[in-house]
Amino acid sequence: MPGAVDTTERPVEIAIVGGGIIGLILGLGLIKRGIKVTIYEQARSLREIGAGVAFTANAVRCMGLIEPGIVKALREVATANGDADDPNDWLQWVDGFNQHFENPNEEKLLYKLYAGYRGFEGCHRAQFLDALVKIVPEAVVQFRKRLDTYTQSEEDDQVTLKFTDGTTATADALIGCDGIKSRVRQILLGEDNPASFPTYTHKFAFRGLIPMERAIAVLGDYKARNQHMHIGPKAHVLHFPVAGQTLMNFVAFVSDPQEWSHEATMVAPAKREEVEETFKSWGPTVRKITSLLPDELDKWAIFDSFDNPAPYYNQGLICLAGDAAHASAPHHGAGAGIGIEDALCLATLFEKAVQAIETRKTTKRKAISLVFDTFNSVRKERSQWLVDSSRGICDVYEWQNPECGDDAEKCFKEIEWRSHKIWNFDIDGMLQETQEGYDKRIIG
């Protein structure tokens, strides 16, 4: 083609929009596989808002397959349940609502599940991000780069990114890891497409951090230092240790029949009195926990992509990953883990693509577009299932599932199979499907 630029000899260059946990992990995985990466972050510095995040054993294994340094970074800041030298790998659900008069200060243990060795490691999001930043090569991340739009050029087989500050950049492909409000998704699917935007789930969450010594004084050592889910009607409370057992992460999910009124932000200020009022009819343990909260805290609107899921994750040299593709409610605690699975899939595919390009089995443009086609095929069903199941499991926790109600045995069966589908995911099977799927597309 006249005027076309031969890009075959250049190394593969990938632009990632979004410098959160998934964007950094994906970037590290691509760099390890010899790919040039630039991460464009709209903020002035890398930071993750939020409180605690937890990872299952399977998610940690994915991290190790992407780049072993990621696991080392996690372990620098992760906190296990109970004794750090003898972790408690069981997750527990208790009746937080009903007072059991034989011992009114204790909650009834409804069910517990073994999550695997070191199967529940919690950390503060910002601390994990800080640990990841230390292993990202210098100059990979560019700050104050808010994406305005992008164009795909067939003449030179590249993507041009245009930022709101008037600057531009080019790359062989663009991956949107820019979260639930993804600008890349809006451009990819169309700004008049409902699937370009998340919707309110009619749940919000009070979130806060409680000093561990205060939690122990009120709850006792075991309950404070170990994950517990307190379930009840139309709400549920979760807590687990973070920051080396120095803090207890608190989150209380509440049903909200109204629309979210803070249109400009998903986070709004709240007061401890609001939480106490919400749970005033609950059992004494939950009421004790709410009394430990600071006077001022946050409440977070829970948005997701359930109502209008993305019909596809890719188009040409553009792809979505993590929350940008499949934002889910946090009730499974698996959104970040599923995003890490995405990153492993993409890193594996780009390794195959580089080989195909170097051996001249195909052009760079086709090799990359087949990466994204294969990714969409491999990851869409599971990631969309998580979006659906995260809504469904919340109904179980809050006794609003019409088939389960507050029947402990029926609720446990739902929790068990859904949790195991996440925790026991066949990573090796995914990698085999990924590699075979790419090979078939190259040959085809």
Q: Average the pLDDT over 139-159 and give the result.
A: 91
Closest residue by Cα to residue 173 from 190, 159, 156, 194: 159
Strand-pair partners of 206: 252, 299
CATH number of the CATH domain containing 225:
3.30.9.30
Give burial (CB, 10 Å; 0-12/13-18/19+) of 273.
Answer: exposed
Tokens 């979210």, located at residue? 260
Where does 109-254 have alpha helices with state H?
Answer: 125-133, 183-189, 212-219, 221-225
- What mean pLDDT is predicted for residues 14-39? 97
Amino acid 4: pLDDT: 40
Q: Note whether residue 4 is domain-resident.
A: no
User: Are 30 and 150 found together in one domain?
Assistant: yes
Answer for the pair 285, 96: CB distance below 8 angstroms, yes or no.
yes
Q: Assess contact for 142 and 42: CB atoms under 8 A.
A: no
Confirm whether 8 is domain-assigned.
no
CA dist., res. 323 & res. 118, Å (int) = 25
Give which of 339, 303, 308 is closest to 66, Cα–Cα.
339
Task: Judge if 214 and 278 occupy the same domain.
Answer: yes
Mean per-residue pLDDT, 32-37: 96
39 inside domain: yes
What is the pLDDT confidence band of residue 6, given thresholds at 50, 70 and 90?
very low
Same domain, 191 and 205: no
Same domain, 129 and 206: no
The residue from 281, 304, 327 where one domain ends is 304
Dump pLDDT digits (tens) for 181-222.
Answer: 999 999 999 999 999 999 999 999 999 999 999 999 999 999
The per-residue pLDDT of the chain, averaged, comes to: 92
59 in Cβ contact with 423 (< 8 Å): no
Which amino acid does the sequence have at 395? D
pLDDT at position 2: 37
- State the catalytic residues: 207
Residue 1 has pLDDT above 70, yes or no: no
238 lies in the same domain as 100: no
If asked whether residues 44 and 140 sit together in one domain, one would say yes
Give the integer Cα–Cα distance in Å for 97 and 231. 7
3-state class (DSSP) for residue 111:
strand
Using the 3D structure, point to which of 250, 276, 304 is the last residue of a domain.
304
- Report, as an integer, the average pLDDT of 158-168: 97
Residue 96, CB-side half-sphere exposure with 13 Å CA sphere: 28
Domain of 24: which CATH number? 3.50.50.60
Of 426, 320, 364, 360, residue with least CA distance to 62: 426
Domain end marker among 251, 271, 304: 304
Question: Average of pLDDT values for 326-342?
Answer: 96
Do 359 and 400 have their domain in common? yes
Q: Which domain holds residue 286?
A: 199-304
Per-residue pLDDT reduced to its tens digit, 98-116: 976 667 668 999 999 999 8
239 belongs to a structural domain? yes
Residue 315 lies in a domain: yes
Judgement on whether residues 39 and 143 belong to the same structural domain of the protein? yes
Number of domains in the chain: 2
Percent of the chain with pLDDT over 70: 95
193 plus 203 within the same structural domain: no
Asked if residue 400 belongs to a domain, the reply is: yes
Cα Rg, the chain, nearest whole Å: 23
The amino acid that residue 149 corresponds to is: T
Q: Is residue 443's pLDDT more than 70?
A: yes
